[in-house]
Amino acid sequence: MKPATLVTIIFLVVVALIHLLRLLFRVEVTVGGDILPLWVSMFAVVGPGALAIWLWREQRARPAPPFAGPRA
C-alpha cells in the first residue's frame, strides 16, 4: 500500500471517529455563533468512514506488481 493512501485512510478514520465520539458524548459545537446540530455528525461518520473502507478495500484488491529484479 502506498504511503499517501495509508495516510488518507488513517485521516478519514480519525475524522469519522471524532464525529462518532461527538455523537456518543453529545458535544455541542458552535460555528459562527450557531450551534451545529448533532445530525450533521451522522453524515460525518458515514461519509468519511465509507470512503476509508472503500479506499482500503480497493488497495487490498489490487495485485502486487511483478518483481522485475535487477537489470543486468
Q: Is residue 22 part of a domain?
A: yes
- Rounded (5°) CA angle 6-8-11: 110
Q: Is residue 67 part of a domain?
A: no
Supply φ then ψ for residue 59, to 5 degrees: -70, -35
Over the chain, what is the mean pLDDT?
91
| Share above pLDDT 90 across residues of the chain, in percent, rounded to a whole number | 76
Q: Is residue 54 part of a domain?
A: yes
Residue 29's pLDDT band, with cuts at 50, 70 and 90, is very high
Q: Say how many CA atoms lie within 13 Å of 2 toward its Cβ.
A: 8
Claim: this prediction has a pTM higher than 0.85: no
Can you spell out the DSSP letters for 8-25? HHHHHHHHHHHHHHHHHH
Q: Is residue 72 part of a domain?
A: no
